[in-house]
């Protein structure tokens, strides 16, 4: 298995992960935090309205976009998870109470709608999610487990999924394991079954190693050993496409002649009103790992009005905007560890054009944990007791 490129050594885990879910919330300094998994980032208009109402009625009025294309509600009062769970289940956002935390699935943005991919991964998203949620064994996956389903455009394959599918050609799919090409291949119709088998093989290998690993790459020789459980490599693994540090913004022409709008949500903080507006503009939206939203299927006559309405609420379509450079962790007041209100400080730096390392992709954090750090080349802006420290790659 020398063809697999090694990743940096990973920490040995001694306990199960404590990733929050919609039912198993995290007690943050500003109240309960619920994370709602959104496989493939796809939400219908009705689901968006449900989430907006839940954020207003139960939370702090906002939805947070995560780097896995999921959503978080914050500021929940104690005991709110039962009511939230009922709302989510009624909207089809909680198909399995036992598997809700493991449904982390990133899919290529606008797959099947815009050129650039070899195939449409939307059926893979539905098939993988159904297979995952329907297998009691897979409820034992860690909440950090991530699947990436890439149609060949190379936008999510490099985001270090534990298992992943990458279309190499219309009839050939590579299995990725722990962020590397495992040298296993499948036809598109068989690809979801292979990815699900890889998830089971991860659990089997983890048990065999007596490990509590949260990620496949944390296992000793994880990609190679999981690949061997699946029959070993049949091809030389190739380097994966590098993950983009920011996603596309602006307007994209669809294969069917319609248009999609792609806009960044500053600091990933989507208000309930913005969510309602998105629900009014489209039957379905897609969330991306770059804290942006995609509004697809717009008729030519509707594109400008939709862009203006969204822009008025603060959604950014200008690829030169400094908002594309900046992400933050939660910081104060949500996180008790934080030494600063990083969102307020980053916002002030953007609005006064006083970003450190201007022009560079930067992630502001309230402490050394550096939660939510994006993949790729990023400048860290780390709060300290005496101000921010800038760390360049």
Beta carbons within 10 angstroms of residue 49's beta carbon:
18
For residue 105, give both structure tokens.
């699935």
- Does residue 370 bind ligand SF4 (CB under 6 A)? yes
Chain residues 78-117 in contact with ligand SF4, contact rule CB under 6 A: none
Using the contact rule CB under 6 A, the part of the chain among 251-259, 287-295, 299-307, 324-332 near ligand SF4 is: 324-332
Helix, strand, or coil (residue 28): strand
- Does residue 216 bind ligand SF4 (CB under 6 A)? no
Alpha helix (H) residue ranges in the chain: 45-57, 80-90, 122-133, 188-208, 222-229, 272-281, 300-312, 342-351
Q: Are the beta carbons of 267 and 343 closer than 8 angstroms?
A: yes
- Does residue 335 bind ligand SF4 (CB under 6 A)? yes
- Does residue 382 bind ligand SF4 (CB under 6 A)? no
Out of 50, 176, 288, 338, point to the residue binding ligand SF4 (CB under 6 A).
338
Q: Are the beta carbons of 235 and 183 closer than 8 angstroms?
A: yes
Q: Which is nearer to ligand SF4, 109 or 362 (by Cβ)?
A: 362
- Does residue 369 bind ligand SF4 (CB under 6 A)? yes
Any idea what the Cα angle at residue 138 is, between residues 137 and 143, rounded to 5°?
135
CB of 29 to ligand SF4, least distance (A): 9
Out of 135, 211, 367, 376, point to the residue binding ligand SF4 (CB under 6 A).
367
Question: What residues form DSSP beta bridges with 325?
Answer: none
Q: Which is nearer to ligand SF4, 40 or 331 (by Cβ)?
A: 331
**Burial category of 189 from C-beta neighbours within 10 Å (exposed 0-12, middle 13-18, buried 19 and up):** exposed
Q: Which is nearer to ligand SF4, 19 or 230 (by Cβ)?
A: 19
- Does residue 365 bind ligand SF4 (CB under 6 A)? yes
For residue 162, give both structure tokens.
């534990």
Out of 366, 374, 378, 388, point to the residue binding ligand SF4 (CB under 6 A).
366
For residue 9, give both structure tokens.
């050594």
For residue 258, give both structure tokens.
């319609």
Site size for ligand SF4, by CB under 6 A? Answer: 12
Q: Which residue is nearest to ligand SF4 (CB)?
A: 366
Q: Which is nearer to ligand SF4, 76 or 329 (by Cβ)?
A: 329
Residues at the contact surface with ligand SF4, assessed by CB under 6 A: 329-331, 335, 337-338, 365-367, 369-371
């Amino acid at each position: 298995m020398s063809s697999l490129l090694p990743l940096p050594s990973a920490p040995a885990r001694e306990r199960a992960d404590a990733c929050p879910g919609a039912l198993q919330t995290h007690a943050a300094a500003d109240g309960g935090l619920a994370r709602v998994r959104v496989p493939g980032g796809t939400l219908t208009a009705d689901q968006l309205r449900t989430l907006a109402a839940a954020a207003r009625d139960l939370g702090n009025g906002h939805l947070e976009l995560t780097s896995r294309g999921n959503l978080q509600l914050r500021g929940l009062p104690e005991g709110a998870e039962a009511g939230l769970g009922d709302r989510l289940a009624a909207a089809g956002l909680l198909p399995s109470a036992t598997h809700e935390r493991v449904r982390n699935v990133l899919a290529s943005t606008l797959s099947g709608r815009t050129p650039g991919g070899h195939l449409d991964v939307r059926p893979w998203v539905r098939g993988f999610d159904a297979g995952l949620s329907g297998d009691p064994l897979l409820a034992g996956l860690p909440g950090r487990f991530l699947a990436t389903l890439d149609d060949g455009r190379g936008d999510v394959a490099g985001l270090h999924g534990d298992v992943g599918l990458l279309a190499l050609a219309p009839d050939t799919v590579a299995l990725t394991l722990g962020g590397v090409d495992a040298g296993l291949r499948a036809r598109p119709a068989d690809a979801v079954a292979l990815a699900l088998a890889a998830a089971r093989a991860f659990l089997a290998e983890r048990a065999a190693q007596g490990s509590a690993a949260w990620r496949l790459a944390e296992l000793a020789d994880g990609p190679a050993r999981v690949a061997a459980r699946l029959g070993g490599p049949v091809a030389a693994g190739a380097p994966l496409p590098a993950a983009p540090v920011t996603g596309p913004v602006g307007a994209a022409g669809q294969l069917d002649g319609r248009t999609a709008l792609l806009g960044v949500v500053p600091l990933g903080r989507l208000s309930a009103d913005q969510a309602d507006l998105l629900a009014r503009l489209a039957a379905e939206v897609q969330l991306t790992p770059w804290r942006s939203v995609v509004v697809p299927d717009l008729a030519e006559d509707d594109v400008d009005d939709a862009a203006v309405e969204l822009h008025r609420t603060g959604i950014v379509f200008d690829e030169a905007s400094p908002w594309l450079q900046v992400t933050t962790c939660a910081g104060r007041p949500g996180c008790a560890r934080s030494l600063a209100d990083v969102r307020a400080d980053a916002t002030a730096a953007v609005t006064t054009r006083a970003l450190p390392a201007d022009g560079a992709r930067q992630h502001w954090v309230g402490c050394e944990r550096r939660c939510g750090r994006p993949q790729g080349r990023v400048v860290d802006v780390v709060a300290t007791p005496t101000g921010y420290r800038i760390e360049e790659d």
